Each structure stands twice: as structure tokens, then as C-alpha cells.
Structure 1
Amino acid sequence: MTDDALTARRAHYAGFFGDLPRTDYGVVVGNCQAESVRIVLDSDDLTLLRVPPVYEMDAAEAARLHEVLAGASVLIAQPVKDDYHDLPLGTRQLAASLPASGRAVTFPVVRFSGLYPFQAVLHVPGTEEDPPIVAYHDVRTLAEAGGIPVRDALGAGAVRAEAADSIAELERREQQLDVGVSDLFAAPGFDLVRTVNHPGNPVILAIGDRVLRALGRPGAATDPGRPLLDAVHAPREDWVIDAWGLDAVPEPVWRVNSDLVDPAEIREAHLEWYRRNPDFVRGALERLRPTLERWRR
């Protein structure tokens, strides 16, 4: 990281790196969803420091996080395994640094594929970079790269089955957590998720309200008056809209930082990326094998 980038990062996370508040404060820890939860919960009654997402933290920042937690009253966290990235960033490890009077509340990483059945977020050991333009894999394009014919669209039954599987996985992960969200997706709509892992404001606000209840604190989450996690919107395909009977207009393009991007452009860029990363393709297709068998042409 350059000196300028480091200075900008420290300025962005000034509350984390600077002098700590003398009043009641806490932190929200996790991935990009955690920052959105922090935004709707930060208040005069409970200052929540902006901290880097765990996947960006280095050893010095992990050590600083433990220092911050030693004086915090609240840790609000998505589940992170012990020694994540070989750093003491596991949720249990972080909670252990709270003072005796501190409270820890956990909420899930939200992923729901019922509106974007072919969209996947995949990580294969040995391939650290993301594909270009959007960091989402279209299973149809990935299957094409592996020479596997799959359908271009799914029927209503298959769409609903994908949603049911997605909700069941959320329910499974929620069993060990303090806050759940799976019930929010019983009646899917595009206001709930912009991509498989970018929930909309209604979901973020519901998480915030439930976190406050779990903490035994009064009040409610506050809508910031702007869309959260708004940088990337996936296309809304007509067959998905039909499957759910939604009153929505199909959107055939991606929206990436307010730019409209043709899926064909992403498809070609990803196919080239797959050609340069054959190990990723093999590993990803192996992981997706049961899904691909269901969706074969």
C-alpha cells in the first residue's frame, strides 16, 4: 500500500485508529454487510466505530481491533472462524477481548439466490483474484467454459427450489447465531437483494432492529435515506419475475457504479478470465457439480 493510500485509509477509519470515545461505544465486524449494519445502528446513544472489513485487515489492524474491543461495550459481528487469514479475527477470539460487562451479538452473512439462481460467489484455493467487471460468476458462463451445456433459464419450480435451498442454508447457519434473517425471504422481492450477497435496506434495517432487541436496547435502526450496498445491481431476468409473479420490470443489464454494463460484455471478459485460470474452472465446476446436474440441457 502506498503512503497516500495508507493515509487515506487511516482517515476513512479515523475513529478506529484515533483516540477512542469516552462514552459508550462498540464495533460491527464482518464483511461489507457489517458496515451497512453499523450505519443504521450508529447513534448518539451508541457510537459504533467504522472498522475495516475483516478480509482487508493485516496483523497491525487485527491487534488494534483487540485494543478497541478492550474498552467497548458492544461487539456486533458476523461469524468469522478462528484464526481467519492466520490472524486472531475469529468472532470468539474478538469477543474474548471485551470487558466483563461487554455484550457480543452475532448476525449472519446474508446470501439469497432465489432471485438470481445462476449467480455465484466462488473462491477456489490458489486463485485469489476476482474476475473482471463484477466479482460474480454466472454459472451458465462458467459451465460454458467447462464444456457443460446448461439451460439458459429455469422454470418456476426450479427457481423456487433454489430459493428454498438458499433459505434452508441460512436457517442452518442461523442456529448458532443470535439474530436470524431467513424469514425475510419467504416472499422474495428485488428490494431485498441487489445481488446474491448485497441485501437491500429492508434487510439491513431488519437486522439492525433485531440486533438491538438481542442487546436489550431500546429504539430502532434508522434508515440513512439512501440505498446501502448500492454499487452493483444484477440483471432482473423475466423468467425469475414470472416465477415469483412479481410486479417488476425486467432489467437486462448490470448496473456497476451507476454505469450500465451489457451482460454480453461481462460474459466475454469472464470467458477470457476462465481461459487464463483453468484451475479455478476445474475447482469451481467440481464444487457446483450437483447444481450443474440439475440444470443440464
Structure 2
Amino acid sequence: MTTTDVPSVMVIGNCQADVYRDLLRAAPGVAVTDVRPVYEMTAEDLPDLHADLARTDVLIVQPVRDDYRGLPLGHRQLAAQLPASATVVLVPVLRYAGLHPYQVLIRPPQDRSLVPPIAPYHDLRAIVAAAAGDRDVLQAAPDPAQAHASARESVEALRTREQAHGTVIASDLLEGIPRWHTINHPDRRTLAEVFDRILAELPAGMIEPAPVIGDREPLGATRAPVDPAVEQALGLPATGPRDWLVGGARVPTREVVEAHLDWYAATPGVVEEGLRRHAARIELLGLR
């Protein structure tokens, strides 16, 4: 243990990691070090970050490539700054498209901060419609084979990432078709199970009793619609939602689609990047 009175824990990652960090803050007998998300860090953050890492007993981190954004922020580079006795827990970035087969994230290379209005997720049907000038594709719905293939792809992709980086295992949790809010906002049951698996990697007795999520949905502020055709194809109950929920407010799906199409017309490069990056999924879903 470092020189602090209680074990020091640092959590680095995206919004999913924020949930784990918030839970650890509620745990007795540990000190959680607050740091900026890795995608917001600059060279000016490095001295303080390295100093904090040198006093950290447990680093919980999502895989980050070496020299991310030109800075030594890869997970291996961060771990090298820890005391020799420290514990490192690698946690996979969770993504699941089973309920939302057409939903993707796109980071245009000219400006990776660009996001569409209202809801920061893209629909491949709108991307293809914008590229082809054909709005008929907006009515596409997956057949059972496509829906199951999309769900399997998410499981296999996560399993590949787990094996590549040696992370905590979470891919088995996707096999039961969990009710996520968006492709990267898991439901509380998934987050709770992953958090329990993180705790199992920590030194014995370090966190007791373990904090729990309870009935709240920590990543439920934005919820994407679920197509009835997807529920039917996957044999799920028809529970929706059918429109977007953004900050607790209902937004009709058609309104989001139209806003995104207008945004694509005014924002060069996004459609092209979507077609390039997600060509395999577009083909899998029969959109081209």
C-alpha cells in the first residue's frame, strides 16, 4: 500500500468507468482520485497525473492504445507510473447493438468532437439515405437472421477485445440480450455485474461491504427507441421505448432523423466516414 492511510484507487475511462468510480466513492476505506477523462487530457495534465499514479494502489482502466492523441496515455504507459505493488484491473469498453442494430458512433477525422443534434448517435439508415439520396431506406427493418447476426457480432467483437487486452470478462453478459439504453450505455444490471467482477480482481477484503447500484439507472438519461421488428426477431417482449428519451423528455424518432439528415447535409465528411467505418455492418443489415 502507498503512504496514504487508506488504499488509493484511480479509475480511467469513459462514461461506463464513471459509474464504477461513483460506486467506489461510496465504498468505505478507500480514497478515489479524481482525474479527467483520458480523451480530455492534455500535456499539462501529465505531471499531476504521474504524481497521482505514483501514489495509487489500484488502477482500474479501460484499454487505451500507446501514445493516444500523441500523449503517453496508453493503459500500459499509465501502469508503468504505478508503484510496483499496485494492482491493475483492465475493464473492456462495452458496446452492444443487439437492441439497436442500426445505431453507431462516428468520429469524423476532421473534428472528432462533432456530434449530431438532439441525440449523439447515428442511424445507419439515415447515413445511407443521405449518401444515396433515397429516403426509402429509412423504413428498413432487420429480418430475424440480420437481427441475430447483429447481436452475435457485438458478443464476438467484445470477446475479441477481451482476449486481445486481457480484460475482465463481460461478453457472456451480452448473450442474454440485455435491455441497454443505447449501444454504449448499459443497463444497471450489466453495470452491476461488471462492477462485481472488478471487485473480485482487487486485493481480498479491500472493499467490504461492496457498494451496489440499486434501482437507479446511472446511464439512463438518454434512451434510444427499440424497433418492434427487432423485438419480434429476437423473441423479446414488446417493451420499447418507441421514441427517443433525452434528458427525460420524449422526442419523436422522426424528429431526430430529420434533424440528423439536415445536419449531414450541412456537415461535410460525416456521411463518408460513416460509410467507410461501418461498411461491414451496412452490408450485414442489407442496407446497400
Which residue is 1:11 aligned to? none
Q: Cα RMSD (Å) of the superposition?
A: 1.9
Which residue is 2:11 aligned to? 28
Which residue is 2:104 aligned to? 120
Distance in 2 (CA, whole Å) between partners of 1:293 and 1:100 is 48
Deviates most, 28-37 or 140-149: 140-149
Which residue is 1:65 aligned to? 49
Which residue is 1:37 aligned to? 20
Which residue is 1:12 aligned to? none
- 1:28 is paired with a residue of what secondary structure? strand
Distance in 2 (CA, whole Å) between partners of 1:49 and 1:115 is 35
Which residue is 1:289 aligned to? 279
Q: Could you tell me which amino acid in structure 1 is paired with residue 36 of structure 2?
A: P
Which residue is 1:131 aligned to? 116
Which residue is 2:93 aligned to? 109
Contact persistence 2:158–2:171 (CA under 8 A): yes
2:143 counterpart of 1:155: yes
1:23-54 C-alpha deviation (Å, 9 max, x unpaired): 21111101111110112333113232332211
Change in CA separation of 1:22 and 1:241 when aligned onto 2, cut-off 3 Å: same
2:172 counterpart of 1:183: yes
Q: Could you tell me which amino acid in structure 2 is paired with residue 102 of structure 1?
A: A
Which residue is 1:172 aligned to? 160
In the superposition, the TM-score normalised over structure 2's length comes to: 0.89
Which residue is 2:270 aligned to? 280
Contact persistence 1:209–1:221 (CA under 8 A): no
Q: Could you tell me which amino acid in structure 1 is paired with residue 124 of structure 2?
A: V
Distance in 2 (CA, whole Å) between partners of 1:203 and 1:250 is 18
Distance in 1 (CA, whole Å) between partners of 2:216 and 2:41 is 27
Contact persistence 1:255–1:261 (CA under 8 A): yes
2:86 counterpart of 1:97: no
Residue of structure 2 aligned with 1:208, choices 180, 189, 195? 195
Shift of 1:102: 0.8
Distance in 1 (CA, whole Å) between partners of 2:251 and 2:148 is 27
Which residue is 2:186 aligned to? 199
- 1:105 is paired with a residue of what secondary structure? strand
Which residue is 1:226 aligned to? 216
1:125-154 C-alpha deviation (Å, 9 max, x unpaired): 113311111110000111100016646100
Identity value in percent: 38
1:179-219 C-alpha deviation (Å, 9 max, x unpaired): 010000111131xx210001111111111111121224345
Shift of 1:221: 4.7
Which residue is 2:38 aligned to? 54
Which residue is 2:204 aligned to? 217
Distance in 1 (CA, whole Å) between partners of 2:185 and 2:266 is 28
Shift of 1:224: 5.0
2:233 counterpart of 1:243: yes
Contact persistence 1:40–1:205 (CA under 8 A): no
2:281 counterpart of 1:264: no
Deviates most, 137-146 or 208-217: 208-217
Contact persistence 1:231–1:255 (CA under 8 A): yes
Which residue is 2:68 aligned to? 84
- 2:63 is paired with a residue of what secondary structure? coil
In the superposition, the TM-score normalised over structure 1's length comes to: 0.87
- 1:27 is paired with a residue of what secondary structure? strand
Contact persistence 1:208–1:221 (CA under 8 A): no
Deviates most, 98-107 or 224-233: 224-233
- 2:84 is paired with a residue of what secondary structure? coil
Distance in 1 (CA, whole Å) between partners of 2:181 and 2:46 is 30
- 2:73 is paired with a residue of what secondary structure? coil
Deviates most, 135-144 or 228-237: 228-237
